[in-house]
Amino acid sequence: MKSATLDKLQCAARVNAVRLVYLDEAGFAASPPVQRAWSPRGLPHCVEPRFHCRRSVLGALDFGANTLAYHVASSSIKGDAVIEFLEQVARQGDERPTVVVLDNASIHHAIDFEVHERWLREHRMQFYLPSYSPELNMIEILWKQAKYHWRNFVTWTKETIDDEVRKLLAGYGTKFQISFA
């Protein structure tokens, strides 16, 4: 059901009948993720944790236009930031209905019913909340590419992380691209 509904929405977005937006949060750490490691034979693998600064990113991937809108925060993303970001996404819309696909995170449920109604009335924006199924959220593919393939695998410093994350995300559509064929 979830996959079939999203397939129909994607087809409608490809012919510009609807605006389909995938929304989710991601975290970027100053040090690159360790995907592989080694240890001497017979000894357990030990990794020393390194606590570096992180940045939280709230992103909206417009499926039809294949564009990314984002907001970077130095702390955790809270419900108010989600509402403010969704207001921005709503204002970027046009006459087409907008369907926002997001997961069932508690900060997504913090949006008042009246706000939902206003967005539907003023911007023709509605929400699709499938139960936990990250494999159906296209922005998860973008986060994976950005974190594991597109970023420079050097340790960012507290002084450079903001600039590096913004450059990485701003490069979507020009320097980096995903084809959702």
pTM of the shown model: 0.83
- Asked if 107 and 78 count as a contact pair (C-beta separation under 8 A), the reply is yes
Question: Domain 2-28+53-170 belongs to what architecture?
Answer: 2-Layer Sandwich (3.30)
CA 74 to chain centre: 16
Domain extent listing, the chain:
2-28+53-170
Q: Which residue has the tokens 């996959």?
A: 3
In the prediction, which pLDDT does 61 show? 92
- DSSP-assigned states of every residue in 51-69: ---EEEEEEEEETTTTEEE
- Asked if 60 and 29 count as a contact pair (C-beta separation under 8 A), the reply is no
Task: Kindly state the DSSP code that residue 48 receives in the 8-state scheme.
Answer: -
In the prediction, which pLDDT does 178 show? 80
- Asked if 163 and 48 count as a contact pair (C-beta separation under 8 A), the reply is no
Q: Provide the residue-wise pLDDT of the chain in tens; the chain has 181 residues.
A: 477 888 888 889 999 999 999 999 998 887 766 656 667 788 776 655 555 688 899 999 999 888 999 999 888 888 888 889 998 998 888 888 999 888 877 787 778 888 888 888 888 888 876 777 777 788 888 888 888 888 877 777 878 888 888 998 999 888 888 877 6
- Asked if 53 and 30 count as a contact pair (C-beta separation under 8 A), the reply is yes
